[in-house]
Amino acid sequence: MIHVNPVVIREYSDLFGEKIVNGRRIIVEELIEELAREFSSEIDRVIRARREWLLRKESVRIKGAFPSWDEKFADADGNVRTYREILQGLIDNFLGRDSEHRWGLNQRTPVPGDLDPLRSGLEITGPWFPMSRAIHQINADVVSMMEDEEDASPAWFIPSGSQMRVAPVWEARRIVKRVLAGDIPSPYYERGKVYVVKKDRSRWPAMIHRLPGIHLLDFDVIVDGKPVPAIITSLVIYVLNNYGSLKSMGRSVCFYLPKIQTPWEALVVEKIFRRVEHKLGLRIGEMKVAMLYEEANAGRYLPVIFWIFRERLIKSNNGRWDYLGSLIEMYKDEAVFPDPQAITMTHPIMMVYQRYNALITLMAGIGRDGKLNAAPVGGMAAVMLYQPTDPYSRYIYNARALRAIWIDKLRERLTGLIFVPDGDIPRGVRITLDDILKGRVRGRLYDLFRQSWVATPEESYVSAGNKPLRADLEELQGMINRPVSFVKAGNIVIPSAESGLTDSERRLFQSLGLIDENGRITPWIIRRDMIDTPEKLLENPELWGGKDLWSALYEPPRGDITVEHAQHAFYMAANYGFQVLNGNLAAAIDDYELGQRFMNDLATYRIFVSWLWTLIRHRAMFTRAGSLKGPGLTELGVIPVVDRIRVEAGTAFTEELFERLWELHYEWTWAFYNEFDTLAARRIVERISPSKMEDRSVIESVKNILSRAYSSGPFRELSAREAAKEISEVIGGSVDEIEKIVIETAPRFDRSFAKAIMEILRKQLTSSLYIQHSSRVLFTLAPLDEKQREQVLDAIFSPREHVAKLIDEGKLSSEVLKFYDYIHDLR
């Protein structure tokens, strides 16, 4: 029997009940119940397998090897193929050989025009809550928009003390339904701002719905006493509520699918898609999928996963954050990675990762007619530009962000240039793009990375990223060869957004094999004989930078481990975790290392928490001398900047040293709040009583009042009205006017969660128990009050038998065991 949270049913009844889809009568709750009954146990099984693999004691090279040639895999039709046969079929498809094992992507159900993976430009991602975010995505100059119910989803929970009645994800689902149906107020007002859709519906970007990972559960929807896998709830509500609207717009049903690690996980999801297609009377493969290849484990099986999804897979996305986090996690018991901040998409292991994705997608995506039915997609550009109102004038550094996205998307575009010559090419001969375009060599050039991700709709940022992706092939060399030009940002000089490559940028591109010593573009040359057998595809060092593919993808990189980056990692994790506890999963954080406002989501949190856990677990040695830093006020605001604790090279990162880091971050937190409240006090005094601006005692008095008002809630300890009255007694002026400013300048988030995230990270990072999906700790604890949170937090990092014993003794609620099993994947 299905049970939906009565408040959800009451307030969002329009999302449930009977829907007419493709001429068929479907009841939302009945389909959710049917899918949950059929597939929940299969999802539980593959999630258990994830945990069991992670707990196995063999080395990564053994347990993480590619499958044996004879290992068998099944698809949703019941076909069984060995690993060798699947790879051989992939090779045969690419080389145009007809064979019994040949297969390719989307060969029975074509890719709709609106989802063409080679349409050039950025894809924008983020939550559609509140509605202003949906309007921003629609108005952006992008090829597709992705409303997110995964890493940057609206919260699946109700933050403690928030006064919410329902988790925000439900309002987001209604917003999606309203927007796609054309029910957008014009103009739309939100928090004193006005928003207007600037495009006719026919010009909207393609629509993609990002599903939650199969590891997440929906506690608002229960079937037979168990929460339903969130992917089922999300998929059913999206399709049944929006199929008609999408079709009326000439748009298709498409999903971004995250966190798939194995063929068995892919098979469960493929079966769910097929069951929904059958219920709606759709052809197999009519619902299309873009996959996030963001799990290192998935690379071991990538051709098999593509084979299972071959009726619907149109894109495979590279993403640094989750991929790097999964690599760190893969090696958690045997190796410590160097500073993750230094492992960017230009690092050798990340370049192989991108090239592997591009090559496999090309080989599977080429149709019998020579047309590409799939393509790789580039990674995230996630800087949020500072506004001119920034109190520290950090907007002057926006030029750095514009240059960075232009360079990154140009690098991706060049990485996706693959040339397959018709004949032999002498070894050592470098073929340039100019040679190909002018017909000096014969063959076929593939131009694969035409799309890439972005997290902000800022017009100048999107424009800078789009230009390399949309340029004609004949224009690319000219972009590199433009005269070098610079702009000044504060005391530093930065290449302008569209400058030609500087000397250092040329050296980088040359080291990546993208240009030669003369600056000429050099596509990746793939001769047919380099990949004409499965063994060559996996083992040919000519393909993979002098190594076999496994070593190139998975051998841990070497590099420095520094105390400054350990502190930075904790800073980023704590700031992001604080926002998640407040219900915000798409969080812009001031990154003091970059001097930019960086968009974080659950994937960045995963990197930093996993890495810090391994540092402490292995008592990793810092390779360079440095210092833990205390807070100080700089041109970038209050940041860790003052040397406080000297750490010599060779010092182990012990729990005691971590405790010192933890204390310094706590100190930074309250220094940051003090500065925030001081700025707010100055704004109020400047607007109400400017003659008192130079009186420090007045500013201090107003700040102290605001600190009480903002300390929790805000306004839980002292209401805005009460604060305004007290401030009026200090500076005079209208209480009503002061109250308005007090509210305008209030922090967005509840500061009482600052203590909570600090305790969560202290417990988790020093525990011997590794949590694979750290986000679920936050999701579980956020709705609880302080006392409940402390009890559950203690339990999560205790042995399960100890928790069960406390429940038997009546010292803990039985709910705690449910939380424990969810967090630890004990299903």
Q: How confident is the model at residue 569 (pLDDT cuts 50, 70, 90)?
A: very high
Q: What percent of the chain has pLDDT over 70?
A: 100
Nearest Cα residue to 147 out of 464, 586, 787, 723: 586
Alpha-carbon 691 to chain mean position: 48
Instruction: Answer whether residue 649 shows pLDDT above 80.
Output: yes
4 bridge partner residues: 221
Nearest Cα residue to 379 out of 403, 338, 350: 350
Q: How confident is the model at residue 467 (pLDDT cuts 50, 70, 90)?
A: very high
Interior angle at CA 474, CA 473 and CA 479, nearest 5: 90
Residue 642 in tokens: 């003052």
- CATH C-level class of 2-67+108-312+370-381: alpha beta
Instruction: Answer whether residue 457 shows pLDDT above 90.
Output: yes
Single-letter amino acid, residue 301: Y
> Which pLDDT does position 556 carry in this prediction?
96
Summarize the confidence of residues 684-690 as an average pLDDT.
Answer: 96
> Which pLDDT does position 562 carry in this prediction?
98
Residue 607 in tokens: 């990197």
Nearest Cα residue to 20 out of 238, 240, 277: 240
Q: In whole numbers, what is the pLDDT of the chain averaged over residues? A: 96
Instruction: Answer whether residue 427 shows pLDDT above 80.
Output: no
Instruction: Answer whether residue 46 shows pLDDT above 90.
Output: yes
Residue 336 in tokens: 């410590």
Instruction: Answer whether residue 428 shows pLDDT above 80.
Output: no
Instruction: Answer whether residue 54 shows pLDDT above 80.
Output: yes
Distances (CA, A) of 225 to 2, 33, 34, 253: 8, 12, 14, 31
> Which pLDDT does position 485 carry in this prediction?
96
Which letter does DSSP use for residue 692 in this model?
A: G
| H or E element, residue 289 | strand 288-293
> Which pLDDT does position 807 carry in this prediction?
94
Collapsing DSSP states into helix, strand and coil, what is residue 47? helix
Q: How confident is the model at residue 180 (pLDDT cuts 50, 70, 90)?
A: very high
Summarize the confidence of residues 158-181 as an average pLDDT.
Answer: 95
> Which pLDDT does position 191 carry in this prediction?
86
> Which pLDDT does position 57 carry in this prediction?
93
Summarize the confidence of residues 595-610 as an average pLDDT.
Answer: 93
The CA dihedral of 400, 401, 404, 408, to the nearest 10 degrees, is 180
How many DSSP H helices and E strands does the chain contain? 30, 27
> Which pLDDT does position 304 carry in this prediction?
98
> Which pLDDT does position 133 carry in this prediction?
96
Summarize the confidence of residues 10-19 as an average pLDDT.
Answer: 98
Q: How confident is the model at residue 424 (pLDDT cuts 50, 70, 90)?
A: confident
| Cα 707 from Cα 116, distance rounded (Å) | 53
Q: How confident is the model at residue 426 (pLDDT cuts 50, 70, 90)?
A: confident
Nearest Cα residue to 582 out of 712, 706, 765: 712
pLDDT tens digits, residue range 329-373? 999 999 999 999 999 999 999 999 999 999 999 999 999 999 999
> Which pLDDT does position 778 carry in this prediction?
95
- Whether pTM exceeds 0.95: yes
Single-letter amino acid, residue 471: A
In this structure, which long-range contacts are made by residues 61-64, counting pairs with CB atoms below 8 Å and at least 24 apart in sequence? 61/550, 61/554, 64/297, 64/300, 64/330, 64/554
Edge-first strand order for the sheet with 383-384 is 383-384, 596-600, 587-591
159 bridge partner residues: none
- Taking a C-beta distance cutoff of 8 angstroms, is the pair 337, 611 a contact? yes
> Which pLDDT does position 307 carry in this prediction?
98
Nearest Cα residue to 314 out of 254, 258, 256, 374: 374
| Cα 245 from Cα 183, distance rounded (Å) | 11
Instruction: Quickly list H helices, 22-79.
Output: 28-55, 60-63
pLDDT tens digits, residue range 692-740? 999 999 999 999 999 999 999 999 999 999 999 999 999 999 999 999 9
**Domain residue extents for the chain:** 2-67+108-312+370-381, 405-526, 563-654+663-744, 762-823
Q: What percent of the chain has pLDDT over 90?
A: 96
Q: How confident is the model at residue 491 (pLDDT cuts 50, 70, 90)?
A: confident
Ranges 291-295, 428-432, 576-580: which has the least confidence:
428-432
Q: How confident is the model at residue 423 (pLDDT cuts 50, 70, 90)?
A: confident
Interior angle at CA 92, CA 89 and CA 94, nearest 5: 115
Torsion region of 715: left, alpha or beta (phi above 0 gives left; psi -120 to 50 gives alpha)? left
Instruction: Quickly list H helices, 78-206.
Output: 83-95, 131-139, 168-180
Q: How confident is the model at residue 492 (pLDDT cuts 50, 70, 90)?
A: confident
CB atoms within 10 A of CB 152: 23
pLDDT tens digits, residue range 739-795? 999 999 999 999 999 999 999 999 999 999 999 989 999 999 999 999 999 999 999
> Which pLDDT does position 114 carry in this prediction?
97
| H or E element, residue 316 | strand 313-318
Q: Please, which residues have CB within 8 angstroms of residue 438's CB and are 6 or more apart in sequence?
A: none
Distances (CA, A) of 810 to 6, 450, 533, 795: 29, 59, 63, 14
